[in-house]
Structure 1
């Protein structure tokens, strides 16, 4: 117990002496004066005043000291020193119990690892922290930090301070200057955060964003991170050379230029090596704009964008740019300093720029548009110094690229495809390795294709074919070829190959090549095999452009096991008068009875059957607003298309359609008349009723029909378009001058030929169905005719009532005249039978409509931005339509369109007398409709750069 008491007394005494050592004590002054001010005892000290507080020595010229509170004001040449830590200022307030010192005016604080200058400094001596305000300058490591206020805290482990600088912050490090509204530095982690409009200037480079995070290691900047609104700019400069011609003499002038290369993105990450910028990564809607100089001469600018952009630097210069994700760009050449004629627009999956050799790699689905040229490929390299493009299907630089053969399209020319393409943007000359292009109806292949200019091409080891396959079934082989656009093709020698077998050869040949113009020439065939026809050559022939008004195309097709088809297609035309075509096609084929083993084209003459087709199309303009047209076709055999067509569309066409039309207009009276004759024949009708045919249709009921032909002889149509019922030329029109009427009529006479089925008895208990025959056993062809004469008329008007309302009533009537109708009859089973009634029948129907509308205008003089005013237009409308019930009395009169039949159960059934005729069914049931609508339109008056717009 005694030992514990002694230890406690010793601890208290030790703490007391230690505390006494940290108290503010006066050590020296030339003059000391004790005074009392407002009841407070103070010491006034003058001359070589020295205080001590622990290890700190404070000196000044004179001071005021309150011994009781241990507070002192020091004035004149004030200085403090604690070990190597020194501070000078004009005046100093010391609050010893709080370990607080406030320095005023010309404050200069120096430590081994940092120094601080400011107008005022709050310093906590024991915590080694403080707050400087007013022109605060902190110097630490290689940095100078400036701000309106700086709060700092010394780091005990490695010296130096962490700080927060606010207001007009500047951080200077070598040639790098960072400015912002607030900077926060963590000494232990080596991280600086710049906030409030941060901007970093490093020589000609600028970096900005919403915030900037700087990471340091061993006093060197290692990384920059910007989370939003990242932007980096670099100044590039050079000259532009201009050639001036005066009086025939040319002189060279140079103009200094300076541009800002710009990079933007949502996120920026910058990495430094040995204090120098090594690389930058932009993410999220990243864009870059840089200007190209060659030997200091300005060439143009390149703007590119993508999801991610990575920039690599070396020795203060940009070395490469890599863009990925939706990559695209535009190179705009300088109009004076570049040989390139226009913009180069490009896209690809990835883009890589190499700044050292000024080249660009487009990797994956690469696409370039330049003037009238488009180039697509899996990989494209652009050498900007030599203006050369090189396109390949893929690249060994990236194995993930989907191969795509280079394809070039120039305006006015067919696409060209090849394994390798080289193109000069300056001279517009190029070379294609293993290329292919289309000309007229054929394809040219070549081991190497070169162009002398935009119109002349040279092809080595060339082939020509109309087959689309890479390995064509047939082709012409040529060692050398010269192709002149819109003129001719010269080739030598020429050998025809079919299935890689040489057929015949020529020493040389000249072929027309005049795209868009009519010119005579050979037509190349297609070649193939078919299970039915055997081997065939289809479409070998010659096109003969006889003159500007007439041409003909003669073709022949040879089928090893089916025969020969000859075609003659003839076109004629006279400008502003008439044009048309006349086609003749014939096939010499084996008869259907010829066995398959005997079908050989060399035996065709001994056992053949001839079929032919005629087609005529003619269109002609006549005088006095008249015109005529004819479209006619004739088939000698109903199954001609099925037997001769290689194409599925032709084989499925089983209709022969012909029509002729004449029309006449009277513009002044607004009348028009047209006459039409038409026929549609089923080419397979006989096959469908022939029991021996694979297309035979077995009837499943009596009165089943198969149409042979539908003919319209004739169809007459007359129209009188809308005009005023009471016309006037007076400007002051009466209400009845707004009444308009119109009228039209159409007469149609239809005739139908068909086969019809009937019931016959197999035995006493079994019935079946068959197609009707004549007494001699041949098929019976039934005929039926029907006509309708329709008249349509209408009246309408538009008038303004009560000054603001528009009212528009209208009445429409339609009358149908027919040669037959139907009558309903109830049989013993309660079924209503439909009996045809021959003779004239008429039906008239109609409807009435009326609508009313107005417009209400409102103006909102609201000025928002560039919008001067907003107009609101409200358009309300109401409409009413009425159609009577034609199965009942109409205005007290029974039209007789429906027949009321009382059934056995007492119910009344209504039978439509016109259903099933050309007039169609009669509307039943009264219809009354009321429509209400309101349309709102907002219009804005916008003034943009003194230009007034309405939207």
Structure 2
């Protein structure tokens, strides 16, 4: 009995000695399970009773299969694992190549070097640098350039620590009446003439104002009493906030297509949002002819982009020898769909009053097209008499 037990222990030790390296050489958990199962099967076969083993060995095909199957099965998985390991190592060697006599440095994304800020370029006839507070003062023809943005003004103050710029006009001359006394001067009877008003230019966008504040980091700014040209129109604002390169928020602003300093007509709105090359959104809005309010709308949208787009139509101002001053083309365009649109307009003449027009267009290529239109006015253009006429 002891001999049998010792022989069983010896056989188990031999099988374990063969099994352990195979199991450890396997890469994945599944391969290890198969290798371990194959080894156990081999152990049971070698340690089974002699009569059963002799019966199995009596059949040569079964014996050979049972003897070599565990070894072949385990060898297949070990070979597969080795191929995977070699493949992974070759990929890592291709991805990470360290030259001779070099040191590899590992760094996390948080510690990697960030992008270098664009330099700020300064120009002026007079410089004054407050090193203690980190403020740079530029006077007379001052210019600051940062990336694609450029600001010109008579006076520019740059806080280098907070990265904030303040631009103002330059006072030139103080006018005082010759017969004014000191008391009159103290009562603000004198006037000051300014020049070199701040101008912000960014790409095709150019805004002029009396005072500007600009943040280099956020690229946002505030312009006080600003004026600018936008897609063929002109707008002003008590305060203009530059949200980004394409969006401006205007407080107490006006918009017109008249080029005159004092336009013949304009739209006034308490708040306006201007999206460059797209549209202007305003509310509430009032139409003025000269200084007289003519019409009121709680909300309006002006398309500034060419093409078919719904929105308010901007009128055109002019003068005629027969009609006097007139305002043509005020109305609304509605792009209903790709085949249908509608437009209503109103013209105003000093001599004859209002002329209202309306039209509906429909057009489907290669199928049909047409137009329905009408107008109403109080003037007969044939006789020249003022009367209702359709």
TM-score (norm 2): 0.52
Q: How does 1:417-816 map to 2 (within 5 A)?
A: 417-485=208-276, 489-507=280-298, 509-511=299-301, 515=305, 518-527=308-317, 532-545=322-335, 555-561=345-351, 564=355, 594=384, 603-605=386-388
Q: How does 1:104-503 map to 2 (within 5 A)?
A: 246-247=107-108, 250=111, 336=116, 341-348=117-124, 350-356=125-131, 357-395=133-171, 403-411=195-203, 414-485=205-276, 489-503=280-294
Question: Deviation string for 1:68-113 (max 9, x for gaps)?
Answer: xxxxxxxxxxxxxxxxxxxxxxxxxxxxxxxxxxxxxxxxxxxxxx
Question: Deviation string for 1:488-533 (max 9, x for gaps)?
Answer: 54433323332222333333x2525564664221112244665542
1:560–1:381 CA distance, 2 compared to 1 (3 A): same
1:345–1:550 CA distance, 2 compared to 1 (3 A): farther
- The structure whose RCO (Cα within 8 Å, separation 6+) is larger is 2
Q: Cα offset for 1:446? A: 1.4
**8 Å contact 2:267–2:286 — kept in the other structure?**
yes
**8 Å contact 1:435–1:446 — kept in the other structure?**
yes
**8 Å contact 2:214–2:220 — kept in the other structure?**
yes
Q: Cα offset for 1:406? A: 2.2
Query: SS in structure 1 opposite 2:240?
Result: strand
- 1:487 & 1:405 partners in 2: Cα distance? 28
- 2:119 & 2:307 partners in 1: Cα distance? 32
- 2:254 & 2:318 partners in 1: Cα distance? 19
- 2:134 & 2:324 partners in 1: Cα distance? 60
Query: SS in structure 1 opposite 2:195?
Result: coil
Q: CA RMSD in A?
A: 4.6
Query: SS in structure 2 opposite 1:443?
Result: strand
Residue 180 (structure 1) aligns with: none
Query: SS in structure 1 opposite 2:258?
Result: coil
**8 Å contact 1:435–1:449 — kept in the other structure?**
yes
1:498–1:402 CA distance, 2 compared to 1 (3 A): closer
1:251–1:438 CA distance, 2 compared to 1 (3 A): closer
Q: Cα offset for 1:429? A: 0.9
Query: Number of residue pairs matched?
Result: 261
- 2:363 & 2:150 partners in 1: Cα distance? 38
Q: How does 1:890-905 map to 2 (within 5 A)?
A: none
Structure with bigger helix share is 2
Query: SS in structure 2 opposite 1:493?
Result: strand
Q: Cα offset for 1:435? A: 1.3
Question: Deviation string for 1:853-884 (max 9, x for gaps)?
Answer: xxxxxxxxxxxxxxxxxxxxxxxxxxxxxxxx
Query: SS in structure 1 opposite 2:118?
Result: coil
1:493–1:420 CA distance, 2 compared to 1 (3 A): same
- 1:419 & 1:471 partners in 2: Cα distance? 18
1:572–1:390 CA distance, 2 compared to 1 (3 A): farther
**8 Å contact 1:376–1:408 — kept in the other structure?**
yes
Query: SS in structure 1 opposite 2:260?
Result: coil
1:360–1:351 CA distance, 2 compared to 1 (3 A): farther
1:342–1:532 CA distance, 2 compared to 1 (3 A): farther
**8 Å contact 1:363–1:398 — kept in the other structure?**
no
Q: Cα offset for 1:422? A: 1.3
